[in-house]
Amino acid sequence: MLSHVRSAATRGIDAFPIDVETSITAAGLPSYAVVGLPDGAVRESRDRIYAAFHHTGLPIPYGKITVNLAPAGMRKEGAAFDLPIALGLLAAHLQKPVQHALEGMCITGELALNGDVRPVRGVLSMAVRAREDGLRGIIVPVQNAMEAAVVEGLDVFPLANVGEGYRMLENPQKPRRAFRRNCTFTFEETPEFEVDFADVRGQENVKRALEIAAAGGHNVLMIGPPGAGKTMLAQRLPTIMPPLTRDEALETTKVHSVGGQLNGSGLIATRPFRSPHHTISDGGLCGGGANPMPGEISLAHNGVLFLDELPEFKRRVLEVLRQPLEEGRITLSRARFSVEYPARFMLVVSMNRCPCGMLDHPHQECMCSAGAIQRYRARISGPLMDRIDLHLDVAPVPFDDLSSRGEAESSVAVRRRVLIAREVQHSRFAGNAHVHCNAQMSMRLVRRHCELDMSCRALMKMAIQRLGLSARSYGRILKVSRTIADLADSERLRPEHISEAIQYRTLDRRVV
C-alpha cells in the first residue's frame, strides 16, 4: 500500500514543496522509519501520530512503514509534517481508493496527543506556493485558516483534529466547504490607532522633522534629557506614515507568519512598530538559529524599528544594522545554506546627552565627568551615526505648553501632507521597482532628482567645510532636501530646503 500527499516547508519567507510518500508492507518485521533528512522533531512525529490515532479511535497502521520526505537531500525540520504524515498513513492503510481526496492539496499542521491540530509557522508562504504550483486547496489548522485565506484563488480547508481528516478520506465524494472570509482591505483607509500626535504638547520642531522622516522614509535620531518625550514621539510615528500597499502588507505578513507572530490573524494592515529591549543579542536583532528565524529588523520590515537609549545596546549588536540600513535586506549564512530576509525599515533611535541625561538641561545640573561623557558617546560608531538622516534636539517641554488647553495638530492632518509627498515620489520612481521613497535613492538617482543651482551649491559647500560632513552625509542631506521640497510642492531644490536639511545634521559634531 502506497500513498502520496503534498506538504511544504519554508526557507526565509518563501516556501518550497515537500512530497510525503508513505509505504506500508506486510513483508518483514513491523517497523516505522522516516527518511529524507528529518530532524528530531520530525522523527518524534511517530509518537505524536500514534497517540493521536489511539485517543481519537482511528485505525493504527501496522506493518513495515516507511515515510519518505522528498526531496531527500534537503533537511526537514519542525512539527508541521505531523498532519501530512498522519493523513498519508491513513490513506495508505485504508483498503479503498481514497488517494484522490488529497490530490491537489497542500497539507500542514502539528498534532497534539489527543488528536487536535495545532497551528504552525509559515502558512501564508505555503499557501502562496500552493497557488503558484497550481494546487486547488490547502489543509491547515483552524488557527491558521484566516492567514491562509489571504491568498486568493485557493480553497482553504481548516481541520480542528485529525479525525476530520480521516472522515475526509472515508467519504472522498462528499463535497467539502472551503473556508471563506472577506479578505478585501482598502489600504487607502485610515487605520485606527490608540495614540495620536495631538497627545504630544509642544515639540513642534521635532514634529516637523518626524513629518519629513515619514514623508521620505528617513532614519531619525532624537537626543535629549529623560522625560522630554522622545519615546512618546517615536510611538506616534506610524500614525502619520502612509498605509501599507497590498504587496507591502503581503510581504510583511509573510515575515510575521514565518516568525510565528500572527496569532491567528490575517493580513497585517498597519505598519509594524518594533521596540526591542537594549539587552537583545545580535541574533535576536538580525535573526538566527540553526534554521534562521527573522529577527527584529525583519519583523520591522515596512515599518519602524525603535531603539530606545541607543548607547545602552551592545556595540556588536548595533554594528549589524549597518548593512541592512543600506541594502534593505539581510542574509543569514549557515554551513549548509543561506537565508535572506527583507529588512527595509525606518530606524528611529533615542539617547541622552550623557549618562545622567542632564547635560545642557535648562534647569538641572549634570554631574558626569568629561571622561564619562566621552565614553558614553563613543558607544555609537561614526559609520552608524552617518547612516541616520535626521538628528533632532529634543528639549524639555515648558510648563506653558504642558498646561495648554489648545488642540495640537492631529496625526490625520499630518498624514494628509505625508501622503501627498509620497504620491509625488511614487510618480517619480514609477519605473523603479526597488525604490519607493526618497531615502532609498541611489547616488545616481540623487544626482538626477536633486540638482543644485549656484546658491544651493554654495550653501552645501560651506556646510561640508564647516561641519566636516562625509560623502554619505552629503547624499543624505540631498535626500532630505528632496523630501522637504516635495512637502512644499516644489520641483526644484531651493536654499531654504537645503538649509533646513543641514540643520538636522548639526549633531554630527556634538555626538560623534
Could you report the per-residue pLDDT of 138-150, keeping only the tens digit for each? 999 999 999 999 8
What's the whole-number mean pLDDT along residues 376-400?
87
The radius of gyration of the chain from alpha carbons, rounded to an integer in Å, stands at 28
Residue 186 has pLDDT above 60, yes or no: no
- In angstroms, rounded to a whole number, what is the distance separating the alpha carbons of residues 113 and 3? 23
**Structure-block grid coordinates of residue 163:** 479525525
Residue 200 has pLDDT above 90, yes or no: no
Query: pLDDT-derived band of residue 395, with 50, 70 and 90 as boundaries?
Result: confident
CA proximity to 449, closest of 471, 427, 423: 427
- In angstroms, rounded to a whole number, what is the distance separating the alpha carbons of residues 144 and 120? 7
Residue 341 has pLDDT above 90, yes or no: yes
Q: What integer pLDDT is reported at residue 257 of this predicted model?
A: 93
Residues present in the chain in total: 512
CA 205 to chain centroid, in Å, comes to 30
Residue 191 has pLDDT above 90, yes or no: no
Q: What integer pLDDT is reported at residue 235 of this predicted model?
A: 94
What's the whole-number mean pLDDT along residues 496-502?
93
Give, in order, the Cα–Cα distances in Å from 474 to each of 386, 461, 500. 10, 10, 14
CA proximity to 297, closest of 324, 316, 264, 315: 324
* Mean pLDDT of the residues in the chain: 88
| Domain ranges, ordered by start, for the chain | 2-170
**What φ, ψ does residue 434 adopt, rounded to 5°?**
-100, -5
- In angstroms, rounded to a whole number, what is the distance separating the alpha carbons of residues 435 and 421? 15
State the residue for C-alpha cell 495614540.
Answer: 195
Q: What integer pLDDT is reported at residue 187 of this predicted model?
A: 46
Query: pLDDT-derived band of residue 512, with 50, 70 and 90 as boundaries?
Result: very low
- In angstroms, rounded to a whole number, what is the distance separating the alpha carbons of residues 262 and 176? 26
CB atoms within 10 A of CB 334: 12
Q: How far apart are the first and last CA of the chain?
A: 71
Q: What integer pLDDT is reported at residue 434 of this predicted model?
A: 82
**DSSP summary character for residue 103:** T
CA proximity to 269, closest of 291, 301, 246, 236: 246
Q: What integer pLDDT is reported at residue 184 of this predicted model?
A: 47
Q: Which helix (H) or strand (E) holds 303?
A: none
Q: Which residues of 366-393 are buried (b: 16+ CB within 10 A; e: fewer)?
A: bebeeeebeebbeebeeebbbbbbbbbb
Give the lowest-confidence range in 243-252, 263-272, 447-456.
263-272
**DSSP summary character for residue 4:** E
Q: What integer pLDDT is reported at residue 407 of this predicted model?
A: 77
- In sequence order, the 6+-apart residues with CB closer than 8 A to the CB of 394 are 203, 206, 222, 223, 224, 228, 229, 230, 233, 350
Sign of CA dihedral 162, 163, 165, 170: positive
Q: What integer pLDDT is reported at residue 180 of this predicted model?
A: 62
Which of 75-79, 95-99, 191-195 shows the highest mean pLDDT?
75-79
Q: What integer pLDDT is reported at residue 299 of this predicted model?
A: 95
**DSSP summary character for residue 438:** G
**DSSP summary character for residue 423:** H
CA proximity to 211, closest of 441, 394, 416, 398: 416
Query: pLDDT-derived band of residue 337, with 50, 70 and 90 as boundaries?
Result: confident
CA 436 to chain centroid, in Å, comes to 17
For residues 362 and 190, the model is more confident at: 362
CATH class for the domain made up of 2-170: alpha beta
What's the whole-number mean pLDDT along residues 443-465?
91
- In angstroms, rounded to a whole number, what is the distance separating the alpha carbons of residues 416 and 195? 17
What's the whole-number mean pLDDT along residues 411-423?
94
Could you report the per-residue pLDDT of 60-94, keeping only the tens digit for each? 988 999 999 999 988 899 999 999 999 999 988 88
**Structure-block grid coordinates of residue 372:** 564619562
Per DSSP, the residues of 201-258 read -S-HHHHHHHHHHHHHT--EEEE--TTSSHHHHHHTGGGGSPPPPHHHHHHHHHHHHH
- In sequence order, the 6+-apart residues with CB closer than 8 A to the CB of 291 are 77, 78
- In angstroms, rounded to a whole number, what is the distance separating the alpha carbons of residues 61 and 109? 20
What's the whole-number mean pLDDT along residues 460-475?
84
Residue 172 has pLDDT above 80, yes or no: no
DSSP alpha helix (H) spans, 294-442: 296-299, 315-319, 322-327, 370-377, 382-386, 399-402, 411-428
Residue 246 has pLDDT above 50, yes or no: yes
